[in-house]
Amino acid sequence: MSYRLISAAVVGLIISVASLPAKAATPTEAVGFFGTVTGAVKARAEDGTSFVLTVSKAEPSEKSTVKDGAPMVGKELTLGTRMPKKDGVASPHADDVAYIKTLNPGDKIVVQVFAVHSDPSILRMTKPGESAGNK
């Protein structure tokens, strides 16, 4: 009987860990970033609302408070979907969710990113990304 309880507990732990959302703390080097990032997908949330990207290149735009993208290289960023409001309620952008659900660990992508004005440590996509090919 105790063997079954232990087995059930182990299975429950594995399921709970496997269903965790794709998140990494935003590194200080990326807070307030607007621009283009290139990198490899590390993980994605099963519901398609976010993914973690390991940065290989970061190009800040003029709007960015981050002026040099070089310190972001090698860092992990959690990128979420746009959150348009409908009837006053924000929800994940359907195109972004569909795109994120196609991503797999190791995929090389290029994506436009913006920092949320109310909390610059939150980074979101401006639109679905593109394959980076050999970039």
Look up the pTM and report it: 0.80
Report yes or no: 22 and 54 within 8 Å, Cβ to Cβ.
Answer: no
18: helix, coil or strand?
helix
Residues 6 or more apart from 81 whose CB is under 8 A from it?
48, 49, 50, 92, 93, 96, 97, 100, 124, 125
pLDDT at site 94: 96
Closest CA to 53 of 127, 120, 126, 110: 110
Q: pLDDT band for 6, please (50, 70, 90 cuts).
A: low
CA 90 to chain centre: 18
Domains of the chain: 21-131 (2.40.50)
CA angle at 103 for the pair 133 and 54, rounded to the nearest 5°: 70
Of all residues in the chain, what percent carry a pLDDT higher than 90?
Answer: 78
Residue 2 pLDDT greater than 90, yes or no: no
pLDDT tens-place string over residues 59-98: 999 999 999 999 999 999 999 999 999 999 999 999 999 9
Residue 19 pLDDT greater than 80, yes or no: no
pLDDT tens-place string over residues 113-131: 999 999 999 999 999 999 9
